[in-house]
Homo-oligomer: A and B are copies of this chain.
Amino acid sequence: MTTIVDKFEMNHRIEKLNRSTSSRLILSKVEGLKNKLKELNLDAFLVSNFYNIYYLSGFKTLTSNEREAWLLITKKNNYLFTDARYYENIKYQILNIKNSSQKSNILIAKLITPQKNLLQHLQEIIQQEQITKLGFEADDLKFNEHQKLTNTIKLIPTEKLIIKLREIKDDNEIEKIKKACRIADHCLSEIIKTIKVDQTEKEIAFKIEFWLKNNGYDLAFYPIVAIDENSALPHYDTKTNGYQKVKQSSVILIDFGAKYKDYLSDITRMIFVGKPTTEQLNIYNILLNAQQKTIKGLRKTNDPKKIDAFCRKLIADNRLLIYPHSTGHGLGLEIHEYPKISEKSTDAIQKNQVFTIEPGVYLPRKFGIRIEDTVWMKEDNKPEVLTHCLKNPIVIEF
């Protein structure tokens, strides 16, 4: 795998990339941020986060953890800074955008080289556009990156600006998440058919991964497949562990999601191999009832703290231990977004958010039950469940 060029300005050499590359470099999402900047009295905003850059510009680099691109949104313009490995492709895509009627939606690509780095580009634009108040992502920028920029540029820290815009999905995003949910449903129904005694947790996780990728999709995250006592661990690490086997009588927790065009789904289902015990069935039914009532509860309040407390109370009222995790979380491009459905949440549930509802009951050393769906707030107080895989207890008998 090659690393970035040290010296050579390659823009004259690197050729236009494959034309099948997505050309969604029209910045349909940038207006929301510009409004926010006005509100906060900022002249411009530097975006460093990989997902936020993608969300605003449609531009994605190969890795999410190496700084390969930056975005600067000013009152007048939108700039993308990247190196020679990506620059020509971007330029080419921009040339191909014909239907961009608004100037404010056009992206200006700037080439980063050792001779002209991000700081130098920024200084130039700051002078040209007379920017004095430049916001940045304090929850993303590293300490040393901030130090390098702040010597000459006055930076104003902000937190969660774009991720809070991301919590309200547009029609296009909803469609992708819906599809990701349908894919997860389909995948799970196929995988259930293949479960056999003596399969390990890892094998089942691999089957899920293979099914998704073989059908042209991807994992939302590495699946949690937890058998018997491992299912009592809410955050069981199947990748590192995963050697527990399916027995003639087993409880299997499967928590996974599909990725479709960069958008995710998230679902948890329980599979009983052999006849479930009365205790298991009782807990399953109490939990299912609590989960369904909680989803219905979204019709009555938009306060996630209340939703969270409501769900926990339904479990506690049945003298069961309440779960050591939140009741749910937003999702979209990333698996953990806003709103948080938890006791300390400061969010409000709104139209066009998408989040999970996923209570669980965990009996240490015995088993755990979790039931999770992805839910879309179609209208205020009108939740729609997007994951449709059966919630009657799934029982496999050999």
The yes or no answer to A21 lying at the interface (CB within 8 A) is yes
When the two chains form the complex, which single residue of B159, B257, B358 contacts A2, counting CB atoms closer than 8 Å? B358
Instruction: State which residues 187-203 of A face B: CB under 8 Å.
Output: none
Give the distance in Å from the alpha carbon of A315 to the alpha carbon of B335 in the complex: 46
The yes or no answer to A138 lying at the interface (CB within 8 A) is yes
Give 8 A-B contacts (CB < 8 Å), ordered by A residue: A2-B235, A2-B255, A5-B326, A8-B324, A13-B321, A13-B324, A15-B233, A85-B234
A168 to chain B, nearest CB (A): 20
The yes or no answer to A266 lying at the interface (CB within 8 A) is yes
Q: Given A15-B364, A329-B3, decide whether A85 and B235 contact each other with a Cβ distance below 8 A.
A: yes
A235 contacts B342, CB within 8 Å? Answer: no
A14 contacts B324, CB within 8 Å? Answer: yes
Q: What total of chain A residues lie within 8 Å of the partner, measured CB to CB?
A: 85
Instruction: State which residues 321-342 of A face B: CB under 8 Å.
Output: 321-326, 329, 335-336, 340, 342
The yes or no answer to A282 lying at the interface (CB within 8 A) is no
Chain B residue contacts of A224, Cβ below 8 A: 1
Chain B residue contacts of A20, Cβ below 8 A: 241, 243
Give the distance in Å from the alpha carbon of A344 to the alpha carbon of B5 in the complex: 10
The yes or no answer to A390 lying at the interface (CB within 8 A) is no
Q: Which of A14, A15, A66: most chain B Cβ within 10 A?
A: A15
Tell which of A121-129, A140-148, A176-184 binds the partner. A140-148
The yes or no answer to A229 lying at the interface (CB within 8 A) is yes
The yes or no answer to A75 lying at the interface (CB within 8 A) is no
A312 to chain B, nearest CB (A): 10
The yes or no answer to A70 lying at the interface (CB within 8 A) is no
Give the distance in Å from the alpha carbon of A336 to the alpha carbon of B66 in the complex: 10
Chain B residue contacts of A240, Cβ below 8 A: 21-22, 60
Chain B residue contacts of A145, Cβ below 8 A: 143
Complex: chain B residue closest to A10, CB-CB:
B324
Chain B residue contacts of A342, Cβ below 8 A: 3, 6
Q: Given A14-B324, A206-B213, decide whether A143 and B114 contact each other with a Cβ distance below 8 A.
A: no
A365 contacts B15, CB within 8 Å? Answer: yes
B325 contacts A4, CB within 8 Å? Answer: yes
A235 contacts B343, CB within 8 Å? Answer: no
Chain B residue contacts of A383, Cβ below 8 A: none
